[in-house]
Amino acid sequence: MGIIIAILLFSAIVIFHELGHFLLAKANKIRVDEFSLGLGPTIIGRKFGETKFSLKLLPFGGACMMGEDDADDVSEGSFNSKSVWARISVIVAGPIFNLVLAWILCFIMVAWVGYHPTVISGTQEGYSAEEAGMREGDVITKVNGRHVYLWDEISLYNILNMDGEKMEITYERGGEETTVVLEPRMLGDDAYPRLGITGEGERERPGILGTMQYALYTVRYWVNYTFESLKMLVTGKVGIQQMSGPVGIVNMVDETYQQSIAINIQTTVLSMMTLAILVTANLGIMNLLPIPALDGGRLVFLAIEAVRGKRVPPDKEGMVHFVGLAALMVLMVVVLFNDVMRLF
């Protein structure tokens, strides 16, 4: 059951991404040749108007085919016949729709179960937070000068600080703010250096406007989580062998489902929604990065065209995307191999 849910979640996220491209293409009167879910041979396909809607054999990925790679096609309604800003809006719509989906899911979760505020529920003996005078009821407002609104953000900063560097914490007590510098420590069975604070208090459920606001804060948290993960990968703190592809994601969803369904349905639904938010936020951010063959790579060339006033020669752009696609394919093979090896 968990595997089926994983495929459905991934498919829904991909459809939403491609829907962004599709809707903006239609809004700009760009012809869409095919809108497909999956990869490989077509299982089912039917044409409505000028667009063929199809379901492919492999349940991963999808496409909104607009002829963007056909530089010679400048006929009416073609992608390349439109202004550079129209084309930019179509390309950027996919990743933006992923982030919009993340916000919708976060809105539902905050409205349903609320959020964990940045209120300290206790301090632990032997750690720097207690020694600095922090205590239950203090509200943490900043970490290293950056505003925080969710307890998850504080946990993320702490977990990512694997080197145990000193952290500047600003907290509020009785309407007054105090800033202290804490040194994370590893005591006992700690897996990473900790500040010695807990935030296991009750969740808060704000009104409609507050729910919209905290849904946005939650999306921000997942975006930061994605960027910090990428930073750890680039700096070598996380190896490529720890990356997960479609197989790894399906396995993660299946394991999470099996564990959560043993508790109750609510926990299962919330767990699946959390994973969906993680995946859709990752997909949105990754597609905005200037990586050839992805949306971000295409946006770079469109931005150059907007500045120069003329398009980069199609053969040169095509070569860059080809090299980028080849590199992504090699990476996917490596990641797939890692995913399969983890199963045994």
Catalytic residues: 18
Question: Tokens 């150059």 identify what position?
Answer: 304
* Helix, strand, or coil (residue 176): strand
CA distance 13 to 281: 10
Q: Kindly write down the DSSP assignment for every residue of 77-107, as one continuous string.
A: T-GGGS-HHHHHHHHHHHHHHHHHHHHHHHH
- Identify which of 172, 203, 232 has the alpha carbon closest to the alpha carbon of residue 109: 203
CA distance 145 to 170: 8
User: Over the range 271-288, which residues count as b (16 or more CB within 10 Å of their CB) and which as e?
Assistant: bbbbbbbbbbbbbbbbbb
Ranges of H-type helices in 176-313: 208-234, 246-261, 265-286, 295-308
Question: Tokens 């907290």 identify what position?
Answer: 171
260: which 2 tokens?
A: 């959560």
Neighbours of 50 (CB within 10 A): 9
138: which 2 tokens?
A: 């203090």
- Identify which of 138, 121, 118, 100 has the alpha carbon closest to the alpha carbon of residue 19: 100
Give, as one character, the DSSP assignment of residue 191: S
Label the pairing between strands 122-123 and 51-65. Answer: unpaired
User: First CA to last CA across the chain, in angstroms?
Assistant: 20
Cα dihedral 267→270→273→279 (10° resolution): -70
Q: What is the CA radius of gyration of the chain?
A: 23
